[in-house]
A = this chain, B = another copy of it.
């Protein structure tokens, strides 16, 4: 429903592989001092002062995204955000990316250009250099693989394993929006399939749809913590849902945790759309994925530095080893957290 059916269509095989790569990456000029050599040799050459952090993710059509409601430019942007988020989750500065793309002949050159427009936009927005990748054909559909690199702060990368008992658990932004955005888009797509004349009115859902289609990685939060001189003790990004990520921090740090239901930050639009869909907002906030917010722990002595900051919410605290990670409900019941995150299989 979001595609331009009248766009010109140039078959991909009208260019050779090398010409296609040249065409797509010609605007990938490098800007960072840490990039010694970008695209065009057997490998890129980087010079990182301090430790390097590196992460990779694959996005598969029909598994991670549906092109019926994900415009290609947004897909390119989101593929970058997903990976950059992993770098920020180490409290590091993202610096370089490599992007590999496999596409079937169903995609014309213009479609691949749209995808790359999103990739280049994300490079500009986050100040990272595109330094390599691969472009090839696929038998079916579109597959994207992104590798992101970054530079750890002098104090070292922040791991999942550093939380201690009594540390405060903090989350950036608000939760559940990306999942509900997907529900809205899927519903509109069903209506569109039944009636192709239907013009969807997404205005009342604009925030949620944007959370799904154009999420942002929290580079700003890493900078904010640096400016506030807050040293997180552990950190993870929220890609699979809050419950799942809290349990990762607990398991890898060897501590328990209490999360307070009434502290979980929710957007008003999210709450009203959950009601419209007859879904429990806490369940969605705990289990809906793709928010790409940062979840981290801090020492209690750092609380005054973040108190009142609109970007950060204390949602609980870590408890002794052996305690089960728990949710304290509004009714003050204690129930065990369960990871109901998104399943790849």
Q: Given the complex of chains A and B, what is the CA–CA distance between A96 and B15 in angstroms?
A: 34
Query: Is residue A28 within 8 Å, beta carbon to beta carbon, of the partner chain?
Result: no
Residue in B51, B135, B140, B149 whose CB lies within 8 Å of A344? B135
Inter-chain contact B56/A139, CB cutoff 8 Å: no
A81 at the interface (CB under 8 A from B): no
Q: Tell me which residues across on chain B come within 8 A of A62, comparing CB atoms.
A: 139
Asked if B45 and A52 make an inter-chain contact with CB atoms under 8 angstroms apart, the answer reads yes
Measured CB to CB, the nearest residue on chain B to A62 is B139
A60/B100 in contact, CB under 8 A: no
A141 neighbours in B (Cβ, 8 Å): 139-140
The answer, yes or no, to whether A86 is at the interface (CB within 8 Å) is yes
**Inter-chain contacts of A277 with B (CB < 8 A):** none
The oligomer's copy count stands at 2
Quick check: is A3 within 8 A (CB to CB) of the other chain?
Answer: no
Q: Least Cβ distance of A333 to chain B in Å?
A: 27
A contacts with B, residue count (CB < 8 A): 70
Contact of A159 among B16, B41, B101, B140 (CB under 8 A): B41
Q: List 27 A-B contacts (CB under 8 A).
A: A13-B345, A16-B345, A36-B157, A37-B157, A42-B160, A43-B90, A43-B148, A43-B150, A44-B54, A45-B157, A46-B52, A46-B54, A54-B149, A56-B98, A56-B132, A56-B133, A57-B134, A58-B100, A58-B134, A58-B143, A60-B137, A60-B143, A100-B145, A134-B145, A137-B345, A139-B141, A145-B145
